[in-house]
Structure 1
Amino acid sequence: MASKAQKNASFNIVVVGQNGRLQYEAVLFVASLRAKSPAFSGRVFVAEPQPGPRWTKDPRMSNPDVVALLNQMDAEILPFESRHFGESYPNGNKIELLRELPAGEPFVFFDTDTLITGDISKVPFDFDRPSASLKVEGTWPEPPLYGPQYTAIWKSLYDKFDIEFESTLDLSQPDEYWRRYLYFNAGFFYYRCPHEFGARFEKYALQIRTDPPEELACQSLDPWLDQVVLPLVIHELGGGRDALPDGFLDGTVSTHYRLIPLMYARESDLAVETLQEVAAPNKVKKVLKQYDPFKRMIYQGRGHKARALFDRDHLPRREQVIRNTLRRNGYWLR
């Protein structure tokens, strides 16, 4: 059992910032964190991939106004090298940045398209038991008609690294139903040491990418590689699906909105109200308006018009239906 000190430890927060949409999302993330979590005392990092052979263009944040505002909000720019992934698999940023975070200090990684809506210092993290987002659909694997099925596919991954498999199963779920198997969204994850977590994350991702078990022959690993590897890392380090109480992250304290039209279409009133509040100060507005989807959706009122198209109590079950509705009405901006 984790000590009280470990459960209540100060921790660092990290998101990715790079050229394009993510640099503006990083501003929105940090602005929301500062507005809604004034008691948070840890360091805030915006990890920035550096130019190199794995990028055809400079991936660094290109807008000096973005960088200046992040610094003004006490976010630290954290350069990191793309040794293995880069442009071919940008989701690999969240793996490679971990080596540059302070060793031995608890951390929480968030996807940049996240809004903080409550006091993150009140989230009861147990950093000795890692976990990740359960806001997930059955996106991987897609078992072929004649097999192998879910159990064989997932077990092959655990067996590859000699990790125990049986205790990962949720026996309340039917056999060969995707929810029976440990599966996370990589929208957030946390642990007591980024280097320990990152070393496993990187090792397993590279080995699965280059030498997957034969049971994965019909499976795509792009863009799912990070979410395929996360369960292995989390389980081996003693975490799981029950490590964090429900209702905090992906709940009252954070919203993983993914794209701004989806925020208005499907997220809670709390999330949309928080968005409008933290985007309103002039110093934030001046920067966010430079990104056209934010300008149109947040500041020109198109977001609320898009929101009126949907009943949040009866949303379509498939995200693609939401996207198609937004696109058909001229609100699909990204």
Structure 2
Amino acid sequence: MARKPRASQTFNIVVVGQHGRLSYEALLFAASLRHTNPDFKGRLLIAEPQAGPLWNNDPSIRDPDVRAAYDFLGAEVIPFENKYFGSAYPYGNKIEMLQALPKGEPFVFFDTDTLITGDLAAVPFDFNRPTASLRRENTWPIPQLYGPGYTGLWKSLYDKFGLDFESSLDLSQPDEYWRRYLYFNAGFFFYRCPHEFGEKFLDYALAIQDTPPVELCCQSFDPWLDQVALPLVIHALGGGRDTLPEGLIDGSISCHYRFLPLLYARESDLAVQVLETVAAPNKLKKVLKGHEAIKRMVFQGRGAKVRALFDQDNLPRKEQAIRNRIKSEGFWMR
């Protein structure tokens, strides 16, 4: 019996854009989305933090050419205010901006340093069961010699918020091995309502920051606070690590490249092709040249030199080793 075609879903996509590098990354993101998904029916939103007492400098996007390019690509700039985070913790933008999005409308958040490389209609988002990126390293927590291990550290957080710890575990992984515990990179996440997700994300993040469990007394939350709170939010909302098929987001459909030198060093030929294709039209090229890393990496060939340093099928296991090699050749930019 033939399978029924899956009904197409309408949802909003949001990235955070602000003055400087992120404003140009948001432009590349928008261009890649329009290139690979010309029939995307949802809204593309660029959440923009506004100047205020929590910022040392005005974070808003002040370049009129960048803003005009967003408009050309059909991206809407949505302003939001920082009431809790700002210069001291800019990663908090992805928490606070959620309240500025349309209430009750499904959304997918992507970090700005992402390219859309394939058809988003192929991704079976279940907006009732959120998840986030599993492309991560064991960055948090760092168990101390005489302190609690991974189980004690993570369980203290689940207990703090009245969540069931045992059901969050991946029992195929050994006890006290970091992959056993629910942990994500916050490079993407999704849910049925940004306000519902954002309220819980903010409540958990502030509670962890202000009144952490005693077990976490030796742990750092900077810059990891969003990634500490995120798995708790996802677990509380009925999501988990297995709500999307592998190989789509952070695979054939999207590429979270972090910095352009890392994109050229380790990402797929498809990601490089999409980047260089969407940056090429003169209307965008003139604007993108305003950022030094894009100008040198994409338009002046430095990216190709970085790519030639590595065998993409046999990369160093740790990202830091890749960074060090690029820096030793004098090619690192951000």
TM > 0.5 fold call: yes
Aligned to 1:115: 115
Aligned to 1:191: 191
Q: Which TM-score applies when normalising by structure 1?
A: 0.97
Letter in 2 for 1:16: V
Aligned to 2:106: 106
Q: Secondary structure at the match of 1:88?
A: coil
Aligned to 1:145: 145
CA distance in 1, matches of 2:147, 2:57: 41
Aligned to 1:211: 211
1:8 Cα deviation from its structure 2 partner: 4.3
Q: Is the 8 A contact 1:6 1:127 kept in 2?
A: no
Letter in 1 for 2:59: P
Aligned to 2:228: 228
CA distance in 1, matches of 2:111, 2:267: 16
Residue 27 of structure 1 pairs with residue 32 of structure 2: no
Counting only pairs closer than 5 Å after superposition, residues 138-177 of structure 1 correspond to structure 2 as 138-177=138-177
Residue 44 of structure 1 pairs with residue 49 of structure 2: no
Aligned to 1:281: 281
CA distance in 1, matches of 2:62, 2:328: 32
Q: Is the 8 A contact 1:142 1:219 kept in 2?
A: yes
Residues 206-245 of structure 1: per-residue CA shift (max 9 Å, x gap): 0100000011111000000000001110011000000011
Q: Secondary structure at the match of 1:25?
A: helix
Q: Secondary structure at the match of 2:313?
A: helix
1:7 Cα deviation from its structure 2 partner: 7.5
Aligned to 1:66: 66
Residues 23-42 of structure 1: per-residue CA shift (max 9 Å, x gap): 00000000000000112100
Counting only pairs closer than 5 Å after superposition, residues 232-247 of structure 1 correspond to structure 2 as 232-247=232-247
Q: Across the two proteins, how many residue pairs are aligned to each other? A: 331
Counting only pairs closer than 5 Å after superposition, residues 10-25 of structure 1 correspond to structure 2 as 10-25=10-25
Aligned to 1:311: 311
Judged with a 3 Å threshold, the aligned counterparts in structure 2 of structure 1 residues 5 and 75 are, in CA distance, closer, same or farther, namely: farther
1:121 Cα deviation from its structure 2 partner: 2.3
CA distance in 2, matches of 1:100, 1:178: 34
5+ residue gaps, structure 1, are: none
1:62 Cα deviation from its structure 2 partner: 2.2
Q: Secondary structure at the match of 2:186?
A: strand
Letter in 1 for 2:32: S
**How well do the aligned residues superpose, as a CA RMSD in angstroms?**
1.3
CA distance in 1, matches of 2:9, 2:298: 36
Q: Is the 8 A contact 1:7 1:125 kept in 2?
A: no
Residues 257-307 of structure 1: per-residue CA shift (max 9 Å, x gap): 000000000101111111111111111111111100100000001100110
Identity of aligned residues (%): 66
Aligned to 2:91: 91
CA distance in 1, matches of 2:214, 2:30: 43
Letter in 2 for 1:39: D
Letter in 1 for 2:218: C
Q: Is the 8 A contact 2:9 2:121 kept in 1?
A: no
CA distance in 2, matches of 1:122, 1:31: 19
Residues 86-123 of structure 1: per-residue CA shift (max 9 Å, x gap): 11000000000000100100000000000010111221
1:191 Cα deviation from its structure 2 partner: 0.2
Q: Secondary structure at the match of 1:186?
A: strand
Q: Which TM-score applies when normalising by structure 2?
A: 0.97
Residue 180 of structure 1 pairs with residue 180 of structure 2: yes
